[in-house]
């Protein structure tokens, strides 16, 4: 994600893409935006911050089905309350003076119809919640049957049982009595189950190993600067990059979403795959084919789409970052390549909550650049106004699965993002707690994070 949300302005009389991110009546969600939009993108989009079941492979997770059922219950309860409130309001002729008899009757009819429609929606939500629960119960029954079948299978001597002398994963030496598993789990037949393999990203990320000063402005090509930043951050893989000009093409037209990426000046492209070289800018941003087939939409200046993302974003699935040339500075590059570092360590928007990703990236990666260049560190990302919705311990409880009520809306964290989010949370706690490098501003950083975290959660689950 870009370092700063919003900002910038459109030039000329070009129109922004349909569906402003600040509009509650948006019919088209911009897949490049990390602002608080109302609805998720119309199709899975690799640049999106929004949680989508199809994005993270958790569609058949039992925890996820239970979570979805609870959300449907909450929706149904809200609609039922709305229906009751609508039905209790009836207009009287006296309230409208001489024309009261003409106004009250059709108005009451409209109110009743609205109440009936809302009640039908509430019933539909309740039915959907029950169907989700039925599916979850079927999965539990199936899983239990499979587990029973597996547990009834004895050890197969033809299956690899570990290296010679390992006794099938049991420790060598000492007396190993029947039933004695030394505290390790068994497979149901008394055989020791080997421990699971290590998973990348289970530990906190260390500070960048080689942060050094960088000139500003920096005239070097973007590929050279990315190579420098990769070395500073300890990023192993190259990161592709596209810099979208905010000016016009040689023919006087702006660079629009249907512009082939290879039409950009060579210095605005770095490390693209052959497939990416054949894309338009809109395709590279993840806009779906039906939108790109609309000439008006496809003719939108690409800089306007990036402007709604704060000037740039990082796509972990393709290890690609996109910037406009107004945000092609080293601090922004450090932030975006910092997301590539997170990705290599096993943290991404599929398995971790976006606000925690952004804050950890700012505190660990981007601020290393600021420190090396003598600039003050950033202490927030895009915090909304108001008071924190809970305290720091309440945020931890929420990440671990507890429900939190914000503005009358019950929120429960996506189960697929809890584990890695807790790793990020714990590192931010160390950084902002006693003895940490941000201890002096720890309370401010935490309050900012909590406010933005629940604003994002409320928008995702709304």
Read off the pLDDT band of 205 (50, 70, 90).
Answer: confident
Give pLDDT tens digits for 279-309: 999 999 989 999 999 999 999 999 999 888 7
The pLDDT of residue 64: 57
Give pLDDT tens digits for 341-395: 999 999 999 999 999 999 999 999 999 999 999 989 999 888 778 899 999 999 9
> ∠ CA(453), CA(456), CA(458), 5° rounding?
105
The number of residues making up the chain comes to 462
Report the DSSP beta bridge partners of residue 270.
241
Mutual angle of helices 442-461 and 392-399, in 10-degree steps? 40
State yes or no: pLDDT of 441 exceeds 70: yes
Strand order in the sheet with 320-324: 269-270, 240-244, 320-324, 312-315
Secondary structure string (H, E, C) spanning 87-139:
HCCCCCHHHHHHHHHHHHHHHHHHHHHHHHHHHHHHHHHHHHHHHHHHHHHHH
3-class state of residue 83 by DSSP? helix
DSSP letters for 248-310: B-TTS-B-BTTSBGGGS-GGGEES--HHHHTSBHHHHHT--HHHHTSHHHHTSBHHHHHHTTT
Nearest to 74 by CA among 404, 355, 354: 404
Nearest to 325 by CA among 264, 415, 276: 264
What pTM, to 2 d.p., does this model score?
A: 0.60
Cα–Cα distance for residue pair 78/71, rounded to 1 Å: 11
Question: What's the mean pLDDT when you consider all of the chain?
Answer: 75
The pLDDT of residue 10: 37
Contacts of 32 (CB under 8 A, 6+ apart): 47, 285, 286, 305, 306, 308, 309, 313
Cα–Cα distance for residue pair 227/324, rounded to 1 Å: 19
State yes or no: pLDDT of 188 exceeds 70: no
């Amino acid at each position: 994600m870009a370092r700063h949300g919003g900002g910038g302005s459109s030039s000329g009389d070009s129109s922004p893409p349909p569906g402003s991110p600040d509009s509650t009546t948006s019919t088209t969600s911009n897949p490049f935006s990390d602002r608080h939009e109302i609805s998720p993108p119309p199709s899975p989009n690799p640049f999106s911050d929004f949680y989508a079941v199809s994005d993270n492979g958790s569609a058949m997770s039992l925890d996820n089905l239970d979570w979805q059922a609870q959300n449907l219950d909450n929706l149904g309860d809200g609609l039922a309350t709305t229906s009751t409130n609508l039905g209790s309001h009836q207009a009287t002729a006296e309230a409208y003076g001489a024309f009261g008899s003409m106004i009250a009757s059709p108005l009451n009819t409209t109110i009743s119809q609205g109440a009936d429609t809302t009640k039908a929606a509430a019933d539909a939500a309740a039915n959907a919640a029950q169907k989700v629960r039925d599916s979850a119960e079927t999965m539990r029954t199936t899983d239990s049957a499979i587990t029973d079948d597996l547990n009834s299978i004895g050890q197969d001597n033809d299956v690899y049982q570990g290296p010679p002398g390992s006794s099938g994963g049991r420790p060598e030496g000492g007396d190993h009595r029947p039933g004695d598993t030394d505290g390790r789990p068994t497979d149901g037949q008394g055989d020791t189950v080997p421990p699971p393999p290590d998973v990348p990203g289970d530990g906190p990320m260390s500070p960048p190993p080689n942060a050094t000063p960088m000139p500003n402005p920096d005239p070097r090509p973007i590929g050279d600067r990315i190579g420098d930043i990769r070395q500073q951050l300890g990023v192993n893989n190259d990161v592709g990059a596209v810099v979208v000009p905010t000016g016009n093409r040689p023919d006087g037209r702006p660079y629009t979403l249907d512009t082939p990426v290879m039409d950009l000046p060579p210095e605005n492209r770095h490390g693209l795959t052959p497939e990416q070289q054949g894309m338009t800018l809109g395709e590279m941003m993840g806009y779906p084919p039906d939108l790109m087939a609309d000439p008006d939409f496809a003719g939108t200046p690409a800089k306007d789409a990036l402007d709604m993302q704060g000037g740039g974003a990082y796509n972990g699935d393709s290890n690609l970052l996109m910037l406009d040339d107004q945000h092609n500075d080293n601090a922004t590059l450090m932030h975006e390549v910092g997301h590539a570092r997170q990705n290599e360590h096993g943290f991404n928007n599929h398995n971790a909550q976006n606000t925690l990703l952004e804050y950890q990236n700012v505190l660990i990666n981007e601020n290393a650049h600021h420190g090396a260049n003598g600039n003050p560190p950033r202490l927030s990302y895009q915090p909304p106004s108001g008071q924190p919705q809970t305290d720091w311990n309440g945020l931890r409880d929420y990440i671990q699965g507890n429900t939190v009520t914000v503005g009358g809306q019950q929120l429960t964290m996506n189960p697929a993002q809890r584990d890695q989010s807790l790793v990020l949370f714990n590192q931010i706690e160390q950084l902002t707690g006693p003895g940490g490098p941000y201890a002096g501003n720890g309370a401010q950083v935490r309050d900012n994070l909590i406010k933005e975290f629940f604003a994002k959660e409320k928008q995702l689950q709304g």
